[in-house]
């Protein structure tokens, strides 16, 4: 089998003529892993906060011919009615797109004061038993309405939902996605979250390409990464690095966020126009990234549309009797 041609690197020919040749790529840096379908990358549109925003995303992705593997929401299951969740589930199912909803209460919204201090306290983690129970309630409710991907921001919630999945209280094909605001930053922490049940791990968008290689030396669990990050995650725009991020981080979800844009969590009608405009612009940002990959001959290796499962991952043993 012939190896695929090496993608053209940005500006390489012009810079070479000026005596500034691009350093050669080290093949040893490439990730040896793929999704179970053989693909190296999938796409995700985040911050899709309800049926109306989802409709805007689906319409715009059709207009711009942007392939979408996953849609994710950040305000939480508890911010949606049953009818709204069902409408989103049905719309995504019709197009074989995975729908991912955030679970439950989080420390940045409750009455605890530590998250408002300079240190940020415990961040999004679920504070106390009742917050943990709220996340479980959200997960069970969403799963009962057909949602098969749950977004988690707390390691205890993650392990609990993984145990519920193992006990058959959540469907076996439910996937658990780790939030960007909890994301691991080194190989050891990445493997811990994989062991706790994460099927897809959002890493911070300021990790270097070498950091991704370090992680891929110890884990094949799918990675999520904002190619453009929201301002509260740094506002980084890494479009020109996308091909290298895929090469180093595969299997990788390309997340199309939006910088210079106010946050929308928790979403409500007061944020409607901004949220709909942001939803459409995230799709446009995704199209820009895929166009850039195509210009450099690096757009191969996308997972087939409709694929969603992560493949076999390494887990910590579940307690006896779970």
Confidence check: pLDDT of 44 > 50: yes
Give the pLDDT band (50/70/90) at residue 2: very low
pLDDT of residue 113: 61
pLDDT of residue 6: 74
According to the 3-state scheme, what is the secondary structure of 146-167?
Answer: CCCEEEECCHHHHHHHHHHHHC
Polymer length in residues for the chain: 322
183 vs 175: which has the higher pLDDT: 175
300 vs 267: which has the higher pLDDT: 300
The number of folded domains in the chain is: 1
Residue 27 lies in a domain: no
Give the pLDDT band (50/70/90) at residue 3: very low
Residue 319 lies in a domain: no
Residues 38-53, mean pLDDT to the nearest whole number: 97
Give the pLDDT band (50/70/90) at residue 1: very low
211 vs 113: which has the higher pLDDT: 211
- Tell me the β-bridge partners of 228: 237, 256
Residue 7 lies in a domain: no
Instruction: Give the CATH number for residue 46.
Output: 3.20.20.70
Give the pLDDT band (50/70/90) at residue 119: low
pLDDT of residue 263: 83
pTM over 0.75: yes
Which residue range is the domain that position 57 belongs to?
37-295
pLDDT in tens, 240-266: 999 999 999 999 999 999 998 878 888
Confidence check: pLDDT of 16 > 80: yes
pLDDT of residue 123: 66
Residue 309 lies in a domain: no
pLDDT of residue 276: 94
Residue 308 lies in a domain: no
Percent of the chain residues past pLDDT 90, beyond the cut: 74
pLDDT in tens, 55-101: 999 999 999 999 999 999 999 999 999 999 999 999 999 999 999 99
Residues 296-314, mean pLDDT to the nearest whole number: 95
Residue 9 lies in a domain: no
Percent of the chain residues past pLDDT 70, beyond the cut: 94
Residue 206 lies in a domain: yes
pLDDT of residue 101: 98
Residue 176 lies in a domain: yes
Q: How high does pLDDT run on average in the chain?
A: 92
């Amino acid at each position: 089998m012939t190896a695929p041609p090496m993608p053209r690197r940005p500006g390489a020919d012009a810079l070479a003529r000026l005596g500034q040749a691009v350093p050669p790529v080290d093949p040893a840096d490439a990730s040896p892993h793929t999704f179970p379908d053989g693909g190296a990358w999938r796409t995700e549109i985040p911050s899709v906060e309800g049926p109306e925003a989802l409709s805007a995303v689906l319409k715009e992705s059709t207009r711009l011919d942007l392939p979408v593997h996953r849609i994710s929401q950040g305000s939480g299951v508890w911010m949606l009615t049953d009818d709204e969740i069902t409408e989103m589930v049905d719309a995504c199912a019709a197009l074989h797109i995975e729908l991912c909803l955030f679970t439950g209460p989080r420390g940045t919204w409750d009455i605890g004061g530590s998250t408002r201090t300079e240190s940020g306290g415990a961040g999004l983690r679920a504070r106390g038993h009742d917050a943990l129970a709220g996340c479980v309630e959200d997960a069970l409710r969403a799963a009962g309405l057909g949602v098969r991907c749950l977004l988690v921001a707390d390691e205890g919630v993650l392990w609990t939902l993984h145990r519920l999945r193992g006990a058959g209280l959540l469907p076996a094909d439910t996937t658990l996605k780790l939030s960007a605001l909890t994301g691991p930053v080194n190989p050891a922490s990445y493997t811990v979250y994989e062991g706790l049940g994460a099927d897809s791990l959002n890493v911070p968008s300021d990790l270097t390409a070498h950091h991704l290689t370090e992680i891929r030396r110890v884990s094949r669990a799918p990675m999520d990464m904002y190619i453009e990050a929201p301002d509260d995650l740094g506002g980084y725009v890494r479009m020109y690095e996308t091909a290298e991020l895929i090469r180093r981080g595969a299997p990788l979800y390309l997340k199309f966020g939006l910088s210079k844009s106010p946050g929308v969590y928790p979403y409500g009608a007061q944020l409607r126009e901004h949220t709909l405009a942001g939803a459409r612009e995230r799709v446009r940002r995704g199209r820009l990234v895929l166009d850039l990959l195509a210009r450099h001959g690096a757009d191969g290796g996308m997972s087939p549309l409709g694929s969603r499962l992560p493949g076999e991952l390494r887990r910590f043993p579940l307690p006896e009797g779970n």
